[in-house]
Structure 1
């Protein structure tokens, strides 16, 4: 027991003598601990990144690279009892062998960043697809709800209220059967219509895919690079337009300066002959230049006015077309197809009315024939009465 106490005292004494942290204050020790924790966090994040990179690059070797649970653990006292200088020298050599360089760390971080971006893009695509499926499901559910409400309303209107016998107060079975038969026929026609529409859409899809393939083979398909190129060209054209506008302003200023010089030459006093001839030539050239610039300015102004008029006409045509389009859309939205039951009833009423009209026309024809016979008979009676009057008059004479 005494030997152990002596050994412990000796070791503690040597530790206090060799430990460089013994002379530091509490604040310095706290700062060292904070720095150590921060460094450990950085090393932990680098280690996790390297493990992800290693698992992705060599997935087979990572399975075999597992720590052995039966590895003997060295006691802390044994590590403490080793020589400090020897352990420090060996640890620095191992660190030099095992640590990554800055280039390797940057390469691994760049690859992990690219992989993370790819995963984010995949997750975005997957989430968009899931949202599209949910939206399609919601639209389908809304359409089904509207169809169910419409069918309920029609059934209540045509069967529950419209097909009740007034005498018995019960629903007429024939009308119910006819209602369901009409519904089934309408469903069959709708299915046939949708099938034809689906087939036409498939044909159009095949045609478009063939055209797209041909354009891809010929190199005529516009990609994102082409759109970027068009944006760049548009920017260049806008810059050219600005340059032309600046040039037009410069020409206008030049024309003003030329007019000022011309006026100056006009009011100048006459000089000797040689100088007068030179000034006249210069005046003539400047006058010609001013006239040319004036005509160019007039042509540019006329072009500007023409462009303004054309833009005004185009805007009016656009407004008229937009108004017409809105009216057509409103008419299309307000258009309603009558129900099959109403159509059948109207058709039956029309046939009954046509029969009644035909019967009345026949009666009128019979009455006209009877009228003709009665008129003929009346004419005969009237002629006989006239003859009898004439005969009686002769007898009296």
Structure 2
């Protein structure tokens, strides 16, 4: 039983070699044939040589396979049982109908024929029975046809009602969607207003923070001492005088530069005139 699972667990290098993998003589083949008789005993000895965990794994796999096989067999048996029960139920219904027809035929026809053999009445009775059967069959066909027509009309009515109901529900859904869209627009507008208000509050908070900072600086401000103020004032006056002196020097330098440019241009013009007058004489 555990041979196939043991072969899965046993390493390949520890398995016995196959006949196709080993070259043996005729005597060895005879010995192998004699060993086949004790195959089951050897299998049990090999299983006995396994550890407890390996034995447990073998038993667990065998148990799972047995459970799967039982599950499949049970499912197949239940399916076959349902099929046969349906066949038996259909046969019983058909047998009941046949028995009823046979009983009616025997009651209406056979008893009359047995009492009055060869009479015209028996023949008429048979014909009447057949006509009644045909009439009942025709009536059943008419009933089924009328029922079919009625079902078709009912189906059309139901389809029409369903379409009308779908149109109404569609209109209601459209109204609901439009209302939701309006609510969404209102929410977007409210969100925009909220953002504007939030930005205004942020600007106000920044202004308040700046105001607090300026107030803090103003509260921490201390006026300088009188002598320091006088020294700074004198230094400022000296710097202003120095600036005015340098500005005057710049103005004088600009005026001198203008005079130099004017003299240079005059000398340049005179030189050009001299060159022009001396040129033809040469």
- TM-score, scaled relative to structure 2: 0.31
**TM-score, structure 1 normalization:** 0.24
